[in-house]
Amino acid sequence: MSEFQYDEKMPHWGFKSWNDFFTRRFRPNARPVAEPNNSKVITSACESTPYAIEQNVKLSDTFWIKSQPYSLKDIFTASKETLAEKFVGGTVYQAFLSAYNYHRWHAPVSGTVSDVYLVDGTYYSEAESEGQDPAGPNNSEGYITSVATRMVMVIDCDDPDLGKIASVFVGMAEVSSCISVVKIGQHVAKGDEIGYFQFGGSTYCMIFQKDVAFVNHFTFPQAIMKSTFDKENPSIIKLNSVLAVVR
């Protein structure tokens, strides 16, 4: 709590409701933006635990037993197929936000918001192949990117080597409030707040176009992914820290 804004002298430390506490803000400079003037550095949009990286993603894919592929047409929705096509063959990075994490989103790059829209979706939906999950849909994170309530946001990066980056902020379990604070045509700087979740744990994806050339891919070993929910101390990628570097 020492990293967050609150006032011990006020009732409930100044929080007006549970949700006001849940969407609490960091203190100034608690999460400095990594290399704000280096456009080749992509930062973490959320305080979160890495879940998966998948390359060469398809426009349309099918769920099979023990498989949760990223199907771009389903993530973006059929009405946005033209947008989804721009990311075919690209890379998806996904990470998990527990209810204890900071739940606001910040721009991972500098650029202009070219699309932002809310997709109404399911609550508590799980991939049948995963079996019953007492923790909710934690084991079905890849699957719920296509079915759960989510905010899709696309940034046309100032740096042409990054192209377009899509961020998809997905509500998990009962989470249905995915709130954007930016609009189409607005320019954002890396590290600016762009939205937030309300009421519970969540997950998010960053989707990169095919020709984005990463340096050593991402900044953490893939060994820490997909098994973090059972660990007492999951590996957290801090907000605004370096997530990936592009040549």
- Do 133 and 145 meet the contact criterion of CB atoms below 8 Å apart? no
Q: What is the pTM of this model?
A: 0.89
Which tops the pLDDT comparison, 220 or 108?
Answer: 108
Q: Which residues contact 8 (CB under 8 A, 6 or more apart)?
A: none
pLDDT of residue 223: 38
Q: Can you give the three-state secondary structure of 71-103, one letter per residue?
A: EHHHHHCHHHHHHHHCCCCCEEEEEEECCCCCC
pLDDT of residue 134: 67
18-41 tens-digit pLDDT = 889 989 999 999 999 999 999 999
Measured CA to CA, the distance from residue 189 to residue 90 in angstroms comes to: 23
Measured CA to CA, the distance from residue 152 to residue 195 in angstroms comes to: 11
Beta bridge partners of 242: 43
Beta bridge partners of 9: none
Q: What is the number of other CB atoms lying within 10 angstroms of the CB of residue 178? A: 25
pLDDT of residue 66: 61
Beta bridge partners of 153: 116, 167
Phi, psi angles (nearest 5°) of residue 167: -115, 130
- Buried/exposed code over 67-103 (b: 16+ C-beta within 10 A; e: otherwise): ebbbbbbbbbbeebeebbebbeebbbbbbbbbeebbb
Q: In which band, very low, low, confident or very high, does the pLDDT at 233 lie, cut at 50, 70 and 90?
A: low
Q: In which band, very low, low, confident or very high, does the pLDDT at 225 lie, cut at 50, 70 and 90?
A: very low
Which tops the pLDDT comparison, 138 or 93?
Answer: 93
